[in-house]
Amino acid sequence: MARRRQSVTIKHVAADAGVSLQTVSRVINNEANVRPQMKERVQASIDKLGYIPSIAAQRMSGSRSYLILALNDRERTIEDWRSRQGSDWVDQMLYGGMLKCAEYGYRLIFELVDTHNDHVERELQAAIAALQPDGVILTPPHSDNPLITGVLREHNIPFAQIGSEGAGGGIPLIMGDEGAAHLATNHLVRLGHKKIGFITGSAEYLLSKWREDGWRGAMDNAGLPTDGLCAEGNFTFKSGLEAARKLLDQPARPTAIIASNDQMALAVLKVAKELGLGVPADLSIISFDNTPATRFAQPPITAIDQPIAATSSRAVELIISAKRGEDLPDAPTVIPAELIERDSTGPAADRSAANSN
Amino acid sequence: MARRRQSVTIKHVAADAGVSLQTVSRVINNEANVRPQMKERVQASIDKLGYIPSIAAQRMSGSRSYLILALNDRERTIEDWRSRQGSDWVDQMLYGGMLKCAEYGYRLIFELVDTHNDHVERELQAAIAALQPDGVILTPPHSDNPLITGVLREHNIPFAQIGSEGAGGGIPLIMGDEGAAHLATNHLVRLGHKKIGFITGSAEYLLSKWREDGWRGAMDNAGLPTDGLCAEGNFTFKSGLEAARKLLDQPARPTAIIASNDQMALAVLKVAKELGLGVPADLSIISFDNTPATRFAQPPITAIDQPIAATSSRAVELIISAKRGEDLPDAPTVIPAELIERDSTGPAADRSAANSN
DNA sequence: ATGAAAGCGCTAACAG
DNA sequence: CTGTTAGCGCTTTCAT
């Protein structure tokens, strides 16, 4: 394969504009100390020749690679891709992250790492050495991994921690999980529900606790008890099945259930059907995440939308700000989640009959 | 932001192993002309120091960037991301492409370009200049765009053309669309269907024609007429609605419909419900693509799976082969599509009543 | 405000 | 087989 050289380099531009390399470089990087007139002349040559700086060369000498690394969990991501259950987490990350990167002339590189593995550190070191990214976006359940945050701090690379409150020294962004759980719970309370069950996510994810806390808090505020209404899940359909059975197989069963993600909500729906419960007539369901599956369910499921695209977009902005030495917010950035009403929620059924059990 | 230098470079390794830079380089690149003993010694130093070559530096001097660019249509991709209808095309591309890249030490960079735009050429030139990719994967509807293939040839960059027969000089890969349409049609014929309708995709995509040809061919083989059974669509739900109404609003309506993608099949399902037709009792439906939406439909839709992951994986292999100067297949690589049977297909209804119209 | 020189980490080309 | 030399395209000093 022939050796490919840059077709038009900074040298060509310099020659064409009759200035030094340095001046061209200054114009490219929008630095001070260039007379407007000079700048214009150089820019004209750049446009004329169609010059684009090589990021490899920029990275070699300077400190910028214009690359931002988005780190995701390998196991979970591959399983999502393989199973094709319609989780669009990756798409939404790219949607927000790539487009925002493009605005600033950056590129997002999507990278997978092993969580349950001592290699994380080595994998990350390798990615950093190979790519020299200008910033890294950490996603759950890696966001607070001290091995990862340690390496990043050591290399002095700005990083965003999505779903983290910022332990580790990065830029924390959260999607308002606790508030969202309030939203969901209150919505059900307003519909007249008194017994509102909750299925937790895996404890490995901080947001699992936030969501549970939000539900408990809202129940408290409404003066409603939570005893026997919380079942453990781990985000899988299977765990949702078990949790749903546990909640619904009791005499005084809940009239509504909030599931910590869509797959588990789908499982609740299935168990409801098995038990002959109408949704929403006998049981209301709300889920977290709002992946496409919620739209296609029968009935479509009311869900808390996880604003992944907005969050990764903001993460990119903050990383670039940090890179520029600009001030960052003191508190974690919160991207609020919204409740998307669909057909799986309705007024609480009159439970006098059922309660007579 | 502090200037980040490579922490351990080829120099450190060379010093540690007591050899020249060049020898280390040879070991890294697995070149010939290194004594096994020497190689071992160098490798030991590499492992000891945790050395990883900088791709920026490799790209600067050598001819490899270890980057492969996957080009996708901006408009369509963003619309998919925005609408969240569960198309997992991007995910499947990444699934196949990224993992295969990782096997070879490459990285896949996902890039969006405008189709309907003279900028394509400039956009591509910019991406090439900035990234210097070792290869490019073209996806429909760009695969045969002469502006794109021209630029790529000019730069001598190997490229795969997914969904193309190879006009343009790249490496063609097709997903057996015509054969798949046969598969779908024959499946329906075996179920006793005689009037099998077809909804085309947008003419912008070559595969639209292949799918239609496959249907026509299979109908011919079965001695079945196709008059009035073909309706035009353009892959959108809306166009599917119109096409379905056209096909089903006639007296001698088809007992089965093949839609050129899932969204249009969903539309057929909707129209069937409006008309009070049972699926599959009164109407069988088969779709192309097999995105997650097909699983969630009521009933789940029998679909031709588009093997995107396998295809992009193979595309990466072929690009790397080409890069190495290895021989490539003469004919387009065909990744055969499979029929996934679900509940939207069944035996043809007895149409004596309907036919009496 | 601009230019000249030095070097980033690596590999191609050539010696030996 | 191994080492030496000369850049790749760009940005950082440091002059002017």
Could you identify the residue whose CA is nearest to the C1' atom of nucleotide C6? A61
Give per-residue pLDDT as tens, A177-215: 999 999 999 999 999 999 999 999 999 999 999 999 999
For B84, which of A51, A88, A130 is closest by C-beta distance?
A88
| Cβ <8 Å between A95 and B82 | yes
Predicted pLDDT of residue A351: 52
- H/E stretch holding B101: helix B89-103
List, in order, residues 6 or more apart from B204 with CB less than 8 Å away: B141
| Cβ <8 Å between B295 and A86 | yes
Predicted pLDDT of residue A206: 93
For A129, which of B52, B107, B122 is closest by C-beta distance?
B52
> Is residue A33 very low, low, confident or very high in pLDDT (cuts 50, 70, 90)?
confident
> Is residue A119 very low, low, confident or very high in pLDDT (cuts 50, 70, 90)?
confident
Strand partners, A287: A259, A303
- CA angle, corner A23, sides to A17 and A27, nearest 5? 90
pLDDT of A355 above 60: no
Sheet containing strand A302-305, strands side by side = A230-231, A196-199, A256-259, A284-289, A302-305, A338-340
Give per-residue pLDDT as tens, B118-149: 788 889 999 999 999 999 999 999 999 999 99
For A56, which of B7, B59, B309 is closest by C-beta distance?
B59
pLDDT of A352 above 60: no
Give Cα B287 distance to the centre of its chain. 17
For A54, which of B110, B132, B324 is closest by C-beta distance?
B132
Predicted pLDDT of residue B116: 73
| Cβ <8 Å between B88 and A82 | no
Q: Which two tokens stand for residue A293?
A: 């599956």
How many angstroms separate the CA of residue A176 from the nearest CA in chain B? 21
Give me the mean pLDDT over the A143-163 stretch: 94
Predicted pLDDT of residue B164: 95
Cβ-contact B283, B326 below 8 angstroms? no
| Cβ <8 Å between B95 and A86 | no
| Cβ <8 Å between B94 and A81 | yes
Predicted pLDDT of residue A350: 66
For A52, which of B6, B55, B130 is closest by C-beta distance?
B130
How far is CA A258 from each of CA A69, A104, A194, rounded to the nearest angstrom? 34, 40, 13
What are the average pLDDT values for consecutive 10-residue runs of chain B, which has 357 residues? 70 92 91 88 92 91 88 95 94 97 95 84 91 95 94 93 93 96 98 97 95 98 96 97 96 96 97 96 97 93 97 97 90 96 92 41
pLDDT of A357 above 70: no
- 3 state SS of A93: helix
- The pLDDT > 90 percentage for chain B reads 83
Minimum CA–CA partner of B54 in chain A:
A130
Predicted pLDDT of residue B173: 97
Minimum CA–CA partner of A66 in chain B:
B130
How many angstroms separate the CA of residue A55 from the nearest CA in chain B? 5
Q: How far is the CA of A34 from the C1' of C1 (A)?
A: 6
User: Which of these, B132, B205, B300, lies nearest to A57 by C-alpha position?
Assistant: B132
User: Which of these, A233, A230, A300, lies nearest to A264 by C-alpha position?
Assistant: A233
Give per-residue pLDDT as tens, A313-343: 999 999 999 988 888 999 999 999 999 999 9
Predicted pLDDT of residue B349: 78
Q: What's phi and psi for B111, nearest 5 deg?
A: -135, 145
**Alpha-carbon span B280 to A340, nearest angstrom:** 32
Give per-residue pLDDT as tens, B267-304: 999 999 999 999 999 999 999 999 999 999 999 999 99
Burial class (CB in 10 A: 0-12, 13-18, 19+), B250: middle
Where do the domains of chain B lie, and which CATH numbers do they carry?
5-59 (1.10.260.40), 67-175+307-326 (3.40.50.2300), 177-306+340-356 (3.40.50.2300)
Q: Which residues touch strand D (CB under 7 A)?
A: A 5-6, 9-11, 21-22, 24-25, 28-29, 51, 53-54, 57-58, 60-63; B 3, 19-23, 26, 33-35, 37-39, 60-61
Predicted pLDDT of residue A6: 77
How many angstroms separate the CA of residue B83 from the nearest CA in chain A? 9
Minimum CA–CA partner of B56 in chain A:
A56
Place of tokens 């550190």: A121
| Cβ <8 Å between A84 and B292 | yes
Gyration radius (Cα) of chain B, Å: 25
Q: What's the mean per-residue pLDDT of chain A?
A: 92
Q: How far is the CA of A121 from the C1' of D7 (A)?
A: 35
Q: How far is the CA of B62 from the C1' of C12 (A)?
A: 8
Give per-residue pLDDT as tens, A220-245: 999 999 999 999 999 999 999 999 99
| Cβ <8 Å between A131 and B309 | no
Predicted pLDDT of residue B350: 67
Helices B74-83, A89-103: crossing angle, 10 deg rounding: 130
Neighboring chain B residues of A92 at a CB cutoff of 8 Å = 81, 84
pLDDT of A49 above 70: yes
Strand D positions within 7 A of protein Cβ atoms:
1-13
Neighboring chain A residues of B2 at a CB cutoff of 8 Å = 63, 156
Specify the nucleotide whose C1' lies closest to residue A54 (CA). Answer: D9
- The pLDDT > 90 percentage for chain A reads 83
How many angstroms separate the CA of residue A120 from the nearest CA in chain B? 14
Predicted pLDDT of residue A207: 95
Give yes or no for CB of A21 within 7 Å of strand C. Answer: yes
Place of tokens 């196949």: B96
